[in-house]
Amino acid sequence: MINQERIKNLLLELVQIDSHSRKERDVAERIKKYCEEMGAQVEIDDAGEKVGGNSGNVIARFAGTITNAQPIMMSAHMDTVVPGEGVKPIVEGDIIRTDETTVLGGDDKSGCAVIIEVIRCLQEQNTPHTPIEAIFSICEEVGLLGAKNVDVSKLKAKYGIVFDSDDPGFLFTKGPSSNELVFKVYGLESHAGVAPEDGISAIKITAEAIAAMRLGHIDEETTANIGIIEGGKATNIIPNYVYLKGETRSRNEDKLTAQTEHMIKCFKDAAAKYEVTVAGVTTKGRAEVTVEREYSSMDVPDSSHVVQLVIQAAKRMGKDMYAAAEMTLEIMKLNGEMATK
Ligand SMILES: [Zn+2]
């Protein structure tokens, strides 16, 4: 069984350690210490240097008692969204909440607490278990930067579970791919009251591009959005620059590519309509686009070992709703039993 009091206190402790994205060092050091106390080999990797943060991912390797079995990976992220500094948690019965001046950071400190408490229980209760690779990642909230920079070639686990859902009774096995698009639209500056015909409005190009663009739900598995737009200096200046950021997601790679190309084409087409010649110099409207893969789709079949572990552990517990830590402990027990069969 899970030690309810201990996991509650651990969660309260973790949420009170500031860890905005790129500032996870304090919580990383604490988690490292606890994992080392449990006998793990712990490293903090170099992901922090790569993404401009003050800490890397904490990777803790626990030997397990069934040493010849394949390890299982468990993961949660250490960073929180803003405003998440100086958290003052309030405990009311079974509920832990904030004083509403900050977020709680239960996303994803609760995942971190579950992993630590479950391993403590496995060890204390001498429950046979496989080796465990625990990854406490950085910068999840700003684009999964920690997870993206884990050197997966160093991991021995071939499967694992990420604890980052607000519903312990729900297992995500499918997810979309996502592209982030950054548009930089260039026009030509001119005085709007004196010589507007000598300018090219980057705002007008942008407006035409977006008006022609399919956004929102594109089909049942594809969405698209323009979320950030910045540009212009003053009402009397024809604006020569607009910056935009958007995204598209789809569970289908071909559809994702098609929507990405469509969004790019809207900007290129709108920009191509504009051209002015001033004092013999010709300037054309222009749109630069960069596309970055935010994350790639996931589709784990129900027949896979890891999904079966969760389903069968749930069945053994015989409930529809689960406490995440109890459920995880059951999963680890079952994984150990299956490894020794
Ligand atoms: Zn999260």
- The pLDDT tens digits for 190-228 are 999 999 999 999 999 999 999 999 999 999 999 999 999
pLDDT digits over 94-152, tens only? 899 999 999 999 999 999 999 999 999 999 999 999 999 999 999 999 999 999 999 99
254 is catalytic: no
* 213, 229 Cβ separation under 8 angstroms: no
Q: Rounded CA gap, 183 and 327, in Å?
A: 45
Query: Where does the pLDDT of residue 169 fall: very low under 50, low under 70, confident under 90, or very high at 90 and above?
Result: confident
pLDDT at 167 over 90: no
Work out the angle at residue 100's Cα, subtended by the Cα atoms of residues 97 and 101, and round it to the nearest 5 degrees: 130
| Nearest in space to 270 (alpha carbons), one of 201, 209, 202 | 209
The reported pLDDT for the residue numbered 321 is: 52
Of these residues, 24, 107, 108, 140, which one is catalytic? Answer: 140
Between CA 15 and CA 80 the distance in angstroms is: 9
Cβ contact 43:150 at 8 Å: no
With cut-offs at 50, 70 and 90, classify the pLDDT of residue 165.
confident
Ramachandran region of residue 320, left (φ > 0), alpha (ψ -120 to 50) or beta? Answer: alpha
Rounded to the nearest whole angstrom, what is the distance from the C-alpha of residue 35 to the centroid of ligand 1? 21
**Residue bearing tokens 């209760």:** 125
Ligand 1 centroid from CA 335, angstroms:
25
The CA distances from residue 243 to 181, 187, 212, 224, 226, in Å, are 11, 12, 18, 17, 11
Residues in the chain, overall count: 341
- Kindly report, residue by residue over 4-43, the tens digit of the pLDDT: 999 999 999 999 999 999 999 999 999 999 999 999 999 9
Please give all residues whose CB falls under 5 A of ion ligand 1, grouped by chain where several chains appear: 107-108, 164
Of 135, 155, 152, 130, residue with least CA distance to 71: 130
What are φ and ψ of residue 21, in 5° steps?
-55, 135
Q: What is the pTM of this model?
A: 0.82
In this predicted model, which residue has the larger pLDDT, 133 or 168?
Answer: 133
